[in-house]
Chains A and B, each alone.
Chain A
Amino acid sequence: MGRPRFKNLVSAVAVAAALGVAGAAVPAAAATLNMAWSQDATGLDPHKQTAFSSLRLLELVYEPLVRTDSELNIAPAIATSWEFSEDGRTLTFKLDPDAKFSNGDKVMPADVKASFERILNEETGASARANFLSIESIDTPDDGTVVFNLSQPDVPLLTAMSSINAAIVPASAIEAGTIGTETLGSGPFVLTSWEPNSREVLAANANWAGGEVGVDGINISVLPDETAILAALRTNQVDFALINDPLVATLVPNNPGLTLTREPVLNYHVLQLNADRGAMTEKKVRQAISCAIDRQDVLDAALLGEGKVTGPLTMPAYATDPSELFCYTPDLEKAKALMAEAGYEDGFSAKVMAATGEPPTAAAEAQVIQSQLGEIGIDLEIEMMELNVYIDRWLKGDFDMAVALNGGRTDPYTMYNRYWTKDGNLAHVAHYGDDTLDSLMQDGRVETDPAKRKEIFAEFSRHITEVSPWIWLYTGYSYTAANDKVSGFEANPTGSLFGLSAVTVSE
């Protein structure tokens, strides 16, 4: 728990104060941050792990070429600059000459090339591979340049490269096959020990090119029960914590000395309808469901109002005003009329599936939706199941309706091409597709003018909410809680904890 260090610090402060040295009264001496979260990483291979819980840890250890800043702009990481060619078919990166792995080895273009070749290799099983298929070849003309040659213009590629799933790992580690068992990254921290489901110890990486890290290290405790995390915060055993459950988060401000940070996230809560099944094959029935659901009411009842009603696009640069979308103002009369027009004036029965505890509010959401759809005669049965069982059925597309929390992306194409293009990998889960959606997605992919892209995706939002294969509900917040000793944390809408690199702990 860093006790000796704490004593040293106290004595250093005491000595400085005794000597009356001006300016030394508040030493910038780094300390260790004690932190807690409830879900631990499930593995260490940045190219294979996709769970939020794993990415949060790996983002502190590894770096991609570029990263997403707190305004959702692309910012430098290993690369200091990047440029698309005129025809949009080559993407050139200049690497930071100071970028080093934590063992002191320079990050070379060969490492970048090897990392992307590993992701593109089908044998790796990297799920992000689908985002990089336009890469035809990679050139490394000199020690500081990497050139990606593309088969077609691919604007969202840059966003995909900002994910930790595109982290740059040492070519030597790929060859040795140690990725996944040992960590060697170029990020702000070094993982010195990992005891799964118990704790992680991170030390500041002295070789980090991104600047000085504000703390000596981070001790992360895995406390599976979030009320225990709150208790640990109150008793100052933990300085900083990540909280998932909005119910626990809302209790934090009741405690003097604790601050809650809410950050709107890109992830969205959605009710997915199976447009291949029963009454829901009728557009009018799906529209009726959309009109019958009072999104704000679900948000208030299930999530204590902790969030914002959203359309399909959750990133601020592309989001449109939800009130302009189809039936975002609930209209029960219209819903009933639509049901009658479709020949279902007496309603029908269906099942909605939800994962236990993922998100923590899933059961509550399903219940509110159940009662709202009851108003138009839809008799909804709730099926709660363990997350892995849920995912298994979800991936097979085997459900009538599903309550889901889906991950958002900073680019609309990367976020939705898997669902709403005809050859998208998850098109069978989306259970709906039409030519309009398909061509809008393709147009948005190759369009380089930001203003025109925005128009294309606004049209996408309007169209998809009108045909209503899914009922987009709202986005929530990510929560961090900290005591007064902690300062300098900047939250990120992607849920990344990279902001911990700037945190300082005072005593």
Chain B
Amino acid sequence: MNYLTRRLVTFPVVMLGVSVLVFVSIRLVPGDAITAMLGTEAGLLTPAQRASLETYFGMDQSWFGQYWHWLGGVLHGNLGISVTYGRPVMEVILRVFPLTLELALLSMVVALAVGLPAGIYAATHAEKPSDLIVRIVAMVGQSTPSFVVALLAIYALSVWFGVLPAMGTFTPLWQDPLKNLAQMILPALTLGFAFAAAVTRISRSAMLDILSDDYIRTARAKGVPARSVIWHHALPNALIPVVTVSGVEFGYLLGGAVIVEQVFALPGLGRTVLEAILQRDYALVQGSVLFIAFNFMIVNLLVDLAYAALDPRIRLGGK
């Protein structure tokens, strides 16, 4: 697997780049951990008090010194201590990540279950009214911001039906699957809605392209049944762009859907990163962003490997 080794070699280089970028950018933002913690009261600190807090937050060293120190820790599997949580960054991330992962997986299930059949249906009914309806719905789905969908869903449920997902106190799947799903289904549908729209549009256009290809015409001419042409000849090839889109979307979702997590009060990775930035919790921001980048790269790698499986013509290793 020449290709795989090459990818694995570039992995650390990209991670290093990401870490430098996030390290510098969070420090370029005005305001530091001390003002984030004390607010305007930070103005009451004497210089000696400030100096001792800076030592506590590790802000007394130069940027390079801080980065070097942090990187050394990371190489030993230690992402540092989150100053707001008072706990190791890795522990904080691993506690909030299962929620985000579950949310991303559920959204993808929703997206594929709805988007793929809808796209194929639209492609096979091209330019008929039913195709138009699917396309309009997909367009609306893709262009509506997720928080609008989320707020509408909450409004409809709480106002018209008087029910609401139990918010705030998240129940992990293994503790109470039913309660967990009750909490997750709305956010998953909300995220899945836009995701499904993207899948619908891409699967429709991919399918349309392929349906006009020569080999499909040949298959039809040979008298292969219409159903078989679509499912066995066209679909595997149409899946490639769908896999790409789904992979990218899934990768984004693993970084946490900040707004949806915020609206549904889900303590996931996205909200954790947001709060960490607002609190200037440098170690937590750096650790989480690195973690998100790592996930994104793994997903991309898996997507590339899936190409090879779907289409033998794509040889990832090259000659």
A interface residues with partner B (beta carbon < 8 Å): 1, 36, 42-44, 48-51, 122-130, 180-181, 195-199, 219, 221-225, 227-228, 231-232, 234-235, 237, 386-389, 391-395, 406-407, 418, 425-426, 429
Contacts and interface: CB of A to CB of B under 8 A. Distances in A.
Interface stretch (B44-52, B109-117, B208-216, B227-235): B44-52
A232 B164 contact: yes
Interface residues of B, number: 50
Nearest to B83: A43
Contacts of B36: 42, 388
B52 A197 contact: no
B52 A125 contact: yes
B50 A125 contact: yes
Given A130-B44, A196-B85, A237 B37 contact: no
Nearest to A182: B86
Contacts, number: 146
A172 to B, nearest CB: 19
Nearest to B265: A223
A128 B49 CA distance: 11
A219 B37 contact: no
Interface of B: 29-32, 34-46, 48-50, 52-53, 56, 83-86, 95, 151, 154, 158, 162-164, 166-170, 262-265, 267, 271-272, 275, 278-280
A130 B44 CA distance: 7
Q: Which 9 A-B residue pairings sit nearest by Cβ, starting from the closest?
A: A221-B168, A388-B31, A198-B267, A125-B53, A127-B41, A50-B41, A123-B52, A122-B48, A392-B31
A395 to B, nearest CB: 5
A231 B278 contact: no
A227 B158 CA distance: 11
B28 to A, nearest CB: 11
Contacts of B38: 48, 50-51, 127
A196 B38 CA distance: 17
16 contacts: A124-B52, A127-B38, A127-B49, A180-B86, A181-B86, A195-B95, A197-B267, A224-B262, A225-B262, A225-B263, A231-B164, A234-B158, A234-B162, A389-B29, A391-B35, A395-B40
A231 B42 contact: no
A198 B158 contact: no
A237 B164 contact: yes
Given A123-B49, A426-B44, 15 more contacts: A43-B37, A122-B46, A122-B48, A127-B38, A195-B95, A198-B267, A221-B167, A221-B265, A224-B271, A228-B167, A228-B263, A235-B158, A235-B164, A392-B31, A406-B40
A473 B159 CA distance: 37
A388 B35 contact: yes
Given A50-B38, A196-B84, A234-B158, A42 B279 contact: yes
Nearest to B158: A231
Contacts of A181: 86
B170 A198 contact: yes
Contacts of A392: 30-32, 35
A120 to B, nearest CB: 11
B42 A235 contact: no
A197 B96 CA distance: 11
B168 A36 contact: yes
B169 A221 contact: yes
A383 to B, nearest CB: 13
B54 to A, nearest CB: 9
Q: Give the most central of A49, A127, A234, A429: most B CB within 10 Å.
A: A127
A222 B262 CA distance: 10
A483 to B, nearest CB: 14
A125 B49 contact: yes
A222 B164 contact: no
A391 B168 CA distance: 29
A52 B46 CA distance: 22
Given A237-B164, A395-B43, A129 B35 contact: no
Nearest to A199: B169
A43 B281 CA distance: 12
Contacts of A235: 158, 162-164
